[in-house]
C-alpha cells in the first residue's frame, strides 16, 4: 500500500539522533537553550519579530485568542471545512464561531462571504491556509483591520508558504503553527508555536503558556495553563527547519506531477502549484468519491478525506445546525474532497502508480 505519509521517508537523512543526543548531554529538558534558539530561528524564518513555542497547534490557536482578549460570548469568524481545530479553540475560550463559506476553487475562506460575516461583528477572524494553500490573506486582512477585527492565521498546514515575498503567518496579527509529526515542519511528537510582531502580545502568550506567571510563582495573567514545547522537540525542529524549503519544494513537485497528469480528468485540482502552496495535502475533488476511493484501494493507493464533517454539523455542537444550507460550498466540498499520497521522499515509482491508478478509474 502506498501510504498518505511516511515518517521514515520524511525524516530520512536528517540527524535526529544528534539533536536528541545534544539534549541528553545538556540534562536540561524544559525551556532551555534549544527552545530559545528555535524560537529565534523560526521567527526569523517566518519574518516576524517574535515566536513563542507551545505544546501543540490547538493551544497556539487558543492562547492566541486569549492573548487577543477574546472572552465568553464573543464571536470569532472562521471556516467550517478545516477539521474543527479552530472551532475547538474558539469553543474552549467560550466564544461562538461565525462560520464563513469557502471559495470552491481554493477551498479557503471566500472574501465576499467574510465581508458579509462582518455584520455579526466578530472580534477576531481565524484564516486557515488549508492543505498548504495560502488563503486570500491580503484582502481578508485589510477588510478585517478596516473593521477593527484582529486576524489569526492558522498556518498549521502551511509552514513556509510565500506570497509576494512574505511567508504565511506574517500577514495577520498572529500566526499559529503546529509541529505534529505529519506537518510540513514536524517534530517527533506534539509541538506548536505562535509568531507575531507585537512584543506585548508575545509576552501575553508567553505568560499564558506557563500558568499565567509574570515571574516564578507570581500569577498576573488570568487563563494560564501549562503549554510548553520541550527541549527534545525544539532540538529536532532546529535540525529540520533548515531543510524545510527543500522538503516543501519536493512536495510541490509531486503536486505538479499530479496536476499535469490529471488536467484532462473531470476533477477539481489544487488551484496553485506556485510558492503560495506547500502541498501539505494534495486534495482534489471528485463527484464519485466513494467509487474513486474504492478503486484506488484496490490499486494499493491509500486515500483519506480532509474533512468529512463540516464543523457546524459535528455531533457535539448541534446548535450550529442553523447554518446548514448557508454554507453550501463548504458542505459540497465535504462530500467531494479526497486526499492522495504526497509527502517528501515518496518514490517516483509510487507517484507513477498513483497517477496510473487515478487515470484508470476514468478509463473504465
Ligand X SMILES: *Cc1c(COP(=O)(O)O)cnc(C)c1O
Q: Rounded to the nearest whole angstrom, what is the least distance from the CB of residue 4 to ligand X in the complex?
A: 14
Closest residue by Cα to residue 167 from 130, 129, 200: 129
**Residue 164: CA atoms inside 13 Å, Cβ hemisphere, count?**
6
Residue spans of alpha helices (H) in 194-302: 199-208, 231-240, 244-262, 289-298
Q: Rounded to the nearest whole angstrom, what is the least distance from the CB of residue 190 to ligand X in the complex?
A: 6
Residues 12 and 6: their CA atoms lie apart, in Å, by 10
C-alpha grid cell, residue 214: 509574570
Using CB atoms, what's the residue nearest to ligand X?
57
Q: Rounded to the nearest whole angstrom, what is the least distance from the CB of residue 361 to ligand X in the complex?
A: 27
**Is the Cβ of residue 58 or residue 233 nearer to ligand X in the bound state?**
58
Question: Who contacts 330 (Cβ-Cβ below 8 Å, separation ≥6)?
Answer: 79, 80, 81, 99, 101, 102, 310
161-180 residues near ligand X, rule: CB under 6 A: 178, 180
179-238 residues near ligand X, rule: CB under 6 A: 180, 190, 192
Closest residue by Cα to residue 254 from 264, 242, 266, 262: 262
Question: Who contacts 232 (Cβ-Cβ below 8 Å, separation ≥6)?
Answer: 19, 20, 23, 29, 34, 188, 189
Handedness of CA 32, 35, 37, 39 (dihedral sign): negative
Q: Rounded to the nearest whole angstrom, what is the least distance from the CB of residue 186 to ligand X in the complex?
A: 10
Interface residue with ligand X, options 53, 106, 107, 128 (CB under 6 A): 128
Q: Rounded to the nearest whole angstrom, what is the least distance from the CB of residue 96 to ligand X in the complex?
A: 19
**Is the Cβ of residue 128 or residue 221 nearer to ligand X in the bound state?**
128
φ, ψ dihedrals at 131, nearest 5°: 65, 10
Residue spans of alpha helices (H) in the chain: 7-10, 16-26, 33-46, 57-67, 85-92, 111-117, 137-146, 199-208, 231-240, 244-262, 289-298, 328-336, 348-362
**Is the Cβ of residue 196 or residue 357 nearer to ligand X in the bound state?**
196
Residue 157 near ligand X by CB under 6 A:
yes
Q: Rounded to the nearest whole angstrom, what is the least distance from the CB of residue 168 to ligand X in the complex?
A: 11
Closest residue by Cα to residue 302 from 72, 2, 73: 2
Residue 156 near ligand X by CB under 6 A:
yes
**Is the Cβ of residue 281 or residue 357 nearer to ligand X in the bound state?**
281
**Is the Cβ of residue 128 or residue 339 nearer to ligand X in the bound state?**
128
Q: Rounded to the nearest whole angstrom, what is the least distance from the CB of residue 124 to ligand X in the complex?
A: 15
Q: Rounded to the nearest whole angstrom, what is the least distance from the CB of residue 283 to ligand X in the complex?
A: 12
**Residue with cell string 492562547:** 63
Residue 107 near ligand X by CB under 6 A:
no
287-346 residues near ligand X, rule: CB under 6 A: none
Residues that contact ligand X, how many (by CB under 6 A): 14
Site string for ligand X, 46-85 (x = CB under 6 A): ----------xxx-----------------------xx-x
Chain residues that interact with ligand X, rule: CB under 6 A: 56-58, 82-83, 85, 128, 154, 156-157, 178, 180, 190, 192
Amino acid at each position: 500500500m502506498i501510504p498518505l505519509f511516511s515518517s521514515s521517508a520524511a525524516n530520512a537523512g536528517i540527524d535526529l539522533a544528534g539533536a536528541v543526543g545534544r539534549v541528553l548531554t545538556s540534562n536540561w529538558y524544559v525551556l532551555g537553550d534549544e527552545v530559545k534558539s528555535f524560537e529565534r530561528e523560526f521567527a526569523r524564518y517566518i519574518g516576524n519579530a517574535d515566536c513563542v513555542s507551545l505544546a501543540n497547534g490547538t493551544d497556539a490557536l487558543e492562547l492566541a485568542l486569549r492573548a487577543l482578549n477574546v472572552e465568553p460570548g464573543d464571536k470569532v469568524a472562521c471556516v467550517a471545512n478545516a477539521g474543527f481545530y479552530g472551532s475547538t479553540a474558539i469553543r474552549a475560550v467560550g466564544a461562538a464561531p461565525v462560520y464563513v463559506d469557502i471559495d470552491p476553487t481554493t477551498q479557503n475562506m471566500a472574501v465576499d462571504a467574510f465581508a458579509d460575516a462582518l455584520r455579526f461583528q466578530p472580534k477576531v477572524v481565524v484564516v486557515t491556509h488549508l492543505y498548504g494553500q495560502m488563503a486570500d490573506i491580503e484582502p481578508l486582512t485589510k477588510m478585517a483591520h478596516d473593521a477593527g477585527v484582529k486576524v489569526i492565521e492558522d498556518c498549521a498546514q502551511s509552514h513556509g508558504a510565500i506570497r509576494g515575498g512574505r511567508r504565511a503567518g506574517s500577514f495577520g496579527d498572529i500566526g499559529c503553527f503546529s509541529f505534529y509529526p505529519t506537518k510540513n515542519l514536524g517534530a517527533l511528537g506534539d509541538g506548536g508555536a505562535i509568531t507575531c510582531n507585537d512584543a506585548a502580545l508575545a509576552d501575553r502568550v508567553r505568560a499564558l503558556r506557563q500558568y499565567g506567571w509574570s515571574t516564578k510563582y507570581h500569577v498576573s495573567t488570568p487563563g494560564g495553563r501549562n503549554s510548553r514545547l520541550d527541549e527534545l522537540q525544539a532540538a529536532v525542529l532546529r535540525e529540520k527547519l533548515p531543510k524545510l524549503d527543500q522538503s516543501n519544494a519536493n512536495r510541490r513537485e509531486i503536486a505538479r506531477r499530479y496536476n499535469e497528469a490529471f488536467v484532462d480528468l473531470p476533477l477539481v485540482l489544487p488551484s496553485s502549484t506556485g510558492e503560495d502552496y506547500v502541498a501539505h495535502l494534495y486534495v482534489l475533488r471528485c463527484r464519485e468519491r466513494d467509487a474513486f476511493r474504492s478503486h484506488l484501494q484496490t490499486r494499493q493507493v491509500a486515500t483519506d478525506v480532509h474533512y468529512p464533517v463540516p464543523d457546524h454539523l459535528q455531533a457535539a455542537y448541534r446548535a450550529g445546525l442553523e447554518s446548514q444550507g448557508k454554507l453550501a460550498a463548504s458542505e459540497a466540498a465535504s462530500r467531494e474532497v479526497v486526499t492522495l499520497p504526497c509527502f517528501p521522499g515518496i518514490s517516483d515509482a509510487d507517484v507513477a502508480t498513483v497517477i496510473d491508478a487515478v487515470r484508470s478509474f476514468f478509463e473504465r
